[in-house]
Chain A
Amino acid sequence: MSGTVLDPKVKTRRLLVRLGLLLVYVGVIALVFTFGKGHTLILDNKDSDDGSVKAIESLSVSVDGQDPLDLAAGERDQAKVQGQGHRVEVTVKDGQKVERRFTVPLAEDILLLSLPRLLAGQPAVTVFVPLDVAAPAEDQEEGNSNAFTSPSAPAEPAVPGAPAKPPAP
């Protein structure tokens, strides 16, 4: 590894390569984040708040090719999606199929999609603010039960697929 005449050139090249790798790294993370982010879409078939658009009598909607959900006027349902851009296919009572596309903001988890507004061509996606949902309480308290004991050598091996077995009889 002795210095040669090319040393400064090699050094800059190495630095550039490393910077490039760093950029790729950050870029891929951003990419998978955008494409992997999961959202919950609340599909809404109600009159719009200002009354300008009416709810549709009965419709069936399929999001991104998932199984269709039936919604009568005033009903709501939900669908889980992944990523930013989505396609929605709505079938109204008289058999008409309408397709619309929309995007979802990256930062939000739960969004409200008003189907009547979507079909009317108005902006339909809004952020949904849930009432405070209590997190499921059934989980055990505290860090942990058995495996904590000091250089505790392994506890029982995990059974595949099944939840961890409770300790000895």
Chain B
Amino acid sequence: MRTRISPWMPLLCCLCQLSAEIGEIPEGYTPIFNGKDLSGWHISRSNHHGTTLDARVEKGVLIIGQNPIGEGGILLTDKRYKDFELYLEVMPDWGCDGGVFLRSSEDGNAYQLAIDYVPDGLMGALIMEGLPKDGPGGAGAGRSDAWKELWKKDDWNSFRVRMTGLAPHIIIWLNDVEIVDFTDDRNRAIGGAEDGMIALQRHFTSASSWRGVPGGVHRFRNIAIKELN
């Protein structure tokens, strides 16, 4: 069989390459970060990681870091979500702890996808951030090495999170491979909240808590959501 090479092939390859570089929001998701500014987001002024987070947008990328040194924080969506699938791409600096909070309170009590990019960190784990830790679900879905095989170093990596149900069922995919399937025994949200905000976190640091190299940041892009309720 003769293979015919399209004259458009070089252009298509070029477009494919471009697409790989800027990433792509999967079909059916609605962007919640416009790539230009922080419209639709706000910094928590009552979160213990910090109240003066450095959150900025550069070349289509949402960057969060400490401001001043030691003071991290969380950047919350203005909107609250109940059942959803969240898609985002992340490129953290090595040695920095951060995460994505799910159904978060304004103070940052939330189910958390840890993006804890440090040796022996909790990368890709589902943990309880300022939520009760008792009962069968209290430990979340903790430390696993599953991410190490899938992680693309010095490159963008995608997370997809599906969160449904009042006692939440949470599935996490890293670069399209499922790494967490967790079902809680109850709803742990503060005040019994049935919905909450999505938050991007940069951990605080102190003399006794090394959670980031000076100047280190977490970068996010292509943040999008599909509401399921």
Report whether chain A binds chain B: no
Interfacial residues, chain B to chain A (CB-CB below 8 A): none
Interfacial residues, chain A to chain B (CB-CB below 8 A): none
